[in-house]
């Protein structure tokens, strides 16, 4: 049975705790860690956990009964904590986004190689049945050549959202909607469409006055396979209607799930091709349902990878690709030039120093609270 430690007991930790409890018999939560010890104690009591509580995670680095660590800390703290545990031979499951810079991502990947532990980055939307089936349908080749993809990462957040002490600053949060929110859609975008060749972007802050970072970004993409795409990320969209649309040679497929197939009339205008659509839907429906979904699906996948000494579906390299895309957005937006991939240490936005030298602080952060104790933090859903 695997021993589990959870770093950070904010609301996202609730999902990790429930997921590990669902895998009872295969893993056991041994420790909760938070700088606010009382919050960790309350969390342990809430879930009736027979575990220890710590304020400093370093006390766990040499513990033989800790096998897997869930990192649920603010993004600026991901790298150091992950490196410390990986170098100690522990396995690490890190919440998104992986880290603030590509340099930090590479440090985490190197630590996993040296320490021998597995590193996985949360991208729980891959573990939704309709999305997994979409990936399998694309990989089957039945859709033919990929032409275009459009991802709409559309959210709504009020100004008070940025009152939390670490939010809304380039230094502590690492970015705005492109970094914290679109990370979900970017992971899927790259997983479904393949590697990126070039991006061109613009970012802006339209309506969040207690935030240095962007609340809207628009990016055009050229993929290595010749496909093109767009990504729109926003915190301005009432209703939070999110989607990914992929146009291919033989059909268009959408998340949330929808398949459309057209055939042309004599004049080139479309009419629905019902028979072709039904044939594609039949293949889509033949793929299996997932036994575990979302966070629990990814956590079960990680536990299985450790038990069987195999690779998890989402690796550190996958997490790095998402950060690379986001750094490409920022480098393009703040230098006014397209960015070609892969990005390396030669790119200005590879390091935090280079990043901080070019980003624009759209507003001055004037309000800051330690936590939303009375209200709590809502965990948003996507797609």
Structure confidence at residue 380 as a pLDDT band (50, 70, 90): low
Q: How far apart are CA 148 and CA 250, in angstroms?
A: 12
Against a cut of 0.75, is the pTM above it?
Answer: yes
Residue 50 in this model has a pLDDT that exceeds 80: yes
Structure confidence at residue 370 as a pLDDT band (50, 70, 90): confident
Residue 335 in this model has a pLDDT that exceeds 60: yes
% of residues, the chain, pLDDT over 70 = 97
Structure confidence at residue 121 as a pLDDT band (50, 70, 90): very high
User: 3-state SS string over the chain?
Assistant: CEEEEEECCCHHHHHHHHHHHHCECCEEEEEEECCCHHHHHHHHHHCCCCCEEECCHHHHCCCCCCCEEEECCCHHHHHHHHHHHHHCCCEEEECCCCCCCHHHHHHHHHHHHHHCCCEEECCHHHHCHHHHHHHHHHHHCCCCCEEEEEEEEECECCHHHHHECCCCCCCCCCCCHHHHCCHHHHHHHHHHHCCEEEEEEEEECCCCCCCCCCCEEEEEEEECCCCEEEEEEECECCCCCCEEEEEECCCEEEECCEEECEEECCCCCEEECHHHHHHHHHHHHHCCCCCCCHHHHHHHHHHHHHHHCCCCCCCHHHHHHHHHHHHHHHHHHHHCCCEECCCCCCCHHHCHHHHHHHCCCCCCCCCCECCCCCCCCCCCCCC
Convert the pLDDT of each residue in 275-329 to its tens digit.
999 999 999 999 999 999 999 999 999 999 999 999 999 999 999 999 999 999 9
Question: Residues with Cβ < 8 Å from 275, sequence gap 6 or more?
Answer: none
Convert the pLDDT of each residue in 355-367 to its tens digit.
999 999 999 999 9
Domain boundaries along the sequence of the chain: 2-125+293-314, 126-290+320-357
Higher pLDDT, 98 or 378: 98
Residue 374 in this model has a pLDDT that exceeds 60: no
Convert the pLDDT of each residue in 236-283 to its tens digit.
999 999 999 999 999 999 999 999 999 999 999 999 999 999 999 999
Q: How far apart are CA 314 and CA 291, in angstroms?
A: 17
Convert the pLDDT of each residue in 71-99 to its tens digit.
999 889 999 999 999 999 999 999 999 99
At 377 the pLDDT is 56
% of residues, the chain, pLDDT over 90 = 93
At 91 the pLDDT is 98
Q: What is the CATH number of domain 126-290+320-357?
A: 3.30.360.10
At 379 the pLDDT is 56
Same fold, 2-125+293-314 and 126-290+320-357: no
Mean pLDDT of 322-344: 98
Mean pLDDT of the chain: 96
What's the longest Cα–Cα distance across the chain? 73
At 368 the pLDDT is 84
Backbone dihedral angles phi then psi of residue 10, each to the nearest 5 degrees: -65, -175
CB 162 within 8 A of CB 177: no
Q: What is the CATH number of domain 2-125+293-314?
A: 3.40.50.720
Residue 113 in this model has a pLDDT that exceeds 70: yes
At 166 the pLDDT is 86
Structure confidence at residue 381 as a pLDDT band (50, 70, 90): low
């Amino acid at each position: 049975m695997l021993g589990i430690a959870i770093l950070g007991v904010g609301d996202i930790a609730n999902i990790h705790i429930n997921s590990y409890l669902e895998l009872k018999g295969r893993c056991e939560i041994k420790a909760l860690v938070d700088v606010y010890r009382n919050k960790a104690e309350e969390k342990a009591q809430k879930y009736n956990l027979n575990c220890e509580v710590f304020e400093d995670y370093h006390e766990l680095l040499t513990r033989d009964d800790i096998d897997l660590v869930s990192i649920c800390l603010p993004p600026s703290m991901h790298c150091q904590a992950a490196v410390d545990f990986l170098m100690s031979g522990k396995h690490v499951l890190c919440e998104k986004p992986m880290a603030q810079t590509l340099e930090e991502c590479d440090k985490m990947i190197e630590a996993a190689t040296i320490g021998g532990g597995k590193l996985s980055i949360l991208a729980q939307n891959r573990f939704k049945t309709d999305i997994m089936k979409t990936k399998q349908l694309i990989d089957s080749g039945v859709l033919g050549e990929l032409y275009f993809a459009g991802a709409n990462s559309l959210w709504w957040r009020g100004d008070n959202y940025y009152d939390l002490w670490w939010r809304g600053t380039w230094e502590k949060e690492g970015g705005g909607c492109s970094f914290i929110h679109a990370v979900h859609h970017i992971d899927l975008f790259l997983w479904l469409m393949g590697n990126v060749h070039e991006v061109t972007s613009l970012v802006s802050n339209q309506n969040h006055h207690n935030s240095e970072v962007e609340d809207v970004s628009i990016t055009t993409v050229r993929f290595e396979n010749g496909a093109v795409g767009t990504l729109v990320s926003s915190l301005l969209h009432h209703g939070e209607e999110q989607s990914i649309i992929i146009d291919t040679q033989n059909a268009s497929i959408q998340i949330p799930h929808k398949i459309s197939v057209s055939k042309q009339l004599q004049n080139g205008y479309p009419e629905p091709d019902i028979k072709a659509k039904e044939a594609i839907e039949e293949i889509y429906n033949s793929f299996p349902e997932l036994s575990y979904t979302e966070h629990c699906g990814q956590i079960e996948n990680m536990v299985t990878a450790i038990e069987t000494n195999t690779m998890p579906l989402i690796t550190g390299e996958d997490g790095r690709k998402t950060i690379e895309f986001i750094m490409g957005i920022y480098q393009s937006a703040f230098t006014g030039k397209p960015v070609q991939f892969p990005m390396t240490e030669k790119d200005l936005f590879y390091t935090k120093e280079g990043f901080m030298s070019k980003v624009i602080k759209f507003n001055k952060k004037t309000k800051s609270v330690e936590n939303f104790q009375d209200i709590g933090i809502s965990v948003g859903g996507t797609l």
